[in-house]
Structure 1
Amino acid sequence: MMKKGAIIWIIIAIGLVVIGLIVPVSTKPADETRVIIDHTKNVYSSPACFDQAGLTNNLEETTFGYAIQIGYESESSCTETEYFGKRKPFLLAIFE
C-alpha cells in the first residue's frame, strides 16, 4: 500500500501534466528558422508568405535570429501570423 505522501505527489504530478497540456502559450520561432530578408526594405518574410510579399530583388536567405539581430521587421501580417500566431500547449512548446 502506498503512503499518503506518495499519493499526494502522484496527484500533483498528474495535475501539472494536465495543466501543461491545457494552458496555451504563444511561441516564437527558433533563431535557426529560415527567413528571406529584403535588404532594400529592411524586412524579413517567411517562405510561406514570399509570393505575396512584394519584395525587391535585393534578397538573401538567412535565419530569423540574424534578421532580428540586424534590426529587420516583419514584412506583413502574413509573416507575423506564420511565425508568431501559433499557440501551443505549454508542455509541447517547451520541447520545441
Structure 2
Amino acid sequence: MKKKDRKLITGMLLTLAALLVGGFVIPVDVGAPSDTRTILDHSTQEYVSPSCIDEAEVTNYLQETNYGHALTLDYEPESGCSVDYYQESDVPLIVATLKTIGIVDQKWSAEDMLRNA
C-alpha cells in the first residue's frame, strides 16, 4: 500500500471517529411528532398536552387535535408541563437520529398519537 493511500485511509478513519464521538456528545432537542394528541384552548390561544390537562387553567372552548395543528395556528404552550411534554431535551445527536428514523423508541407512544385530526 502506498504512503498516500495510508494517509487517505487514516484521515477518513479519524474523521469517522470524530463524527461518531461527536454524535454521542452533541446534545439536541427532539420535538414531538406532528400527529401527537393535543388539546387547544381557543379562548386563550394556547395548547395543552393531555397529561397536563388536570393542572391546566383552561376555558370551555377546547378542541382535541394534533400538535402540528397547534403549531400551525401559532398557539403557545399553556405551561411548562406542556413544554416538557412536547420536547425531549439534551438527547445525543446519534440517539435523536435513531429515534427520528424509528430504530429507537421515542418518548411518545402510539397511544399519544391522534389520527385523522
What amino acid sits opposite 1:43 in the alignment?
E
> Hey, what's the Cα distance between the residues in 2 that align with 1:40 and 1:52?
17
TM superposition score normalised by structure 1? 0.82
Residue from 90, 97, 114 that aligns with 1:94? 97
TM superposition score normalised by structure 2? 0.69
Q: CA RMSD in A?
A: 2.0
What do the CA deviations read for 1:12-61 (whole angstroms, capped 9, x no partner)? Answer: 10210110111101233232222111122221011221111122232222
Aligned structure 1 segments of 4 or more residues deviating by more than 3 angstroms: none
Residue from 75, 79, 83 that aligns with 1:76? 79
Residue from 8, 12, 15 that aligns with 1:9? 12
Residue in 1 that maps onto 2:23: 20
Tell me by how many angstroms 1:86 deviates: 1.9
> Hey, what's the Cα distance between the residues in 2 that align with 1:14 and 1:50?
45
- In the alignment, structure 1 residue 47 sits paired with structure 2 residue 85: no
Residue from 53, 57, 63 that aligns with 2:66? 63
The runs of 5 or more residues in structure 1 that have no matched partner are none
Q: Secondary structure at the match of 1:81?
A: helix
Structure number with greater CO (CA < 8 Å, separation at least 6) is: 1
More moved, 86-95 vs 14-23:
86-95
> Hey, what's the Cα distance between the residues in 1 that align with 2:8 and 2:74?
52
Tell me by how many angstroms 1:94 deviates: 3.0
Amino-acid identity (%): 34
What amino acid sits opposite 1:80 in the alignment?
V
Tell me by how many angstroms 1:82 deviates: 2.0
Residue from 13, 38, 41 that aligns with 1:38? 41
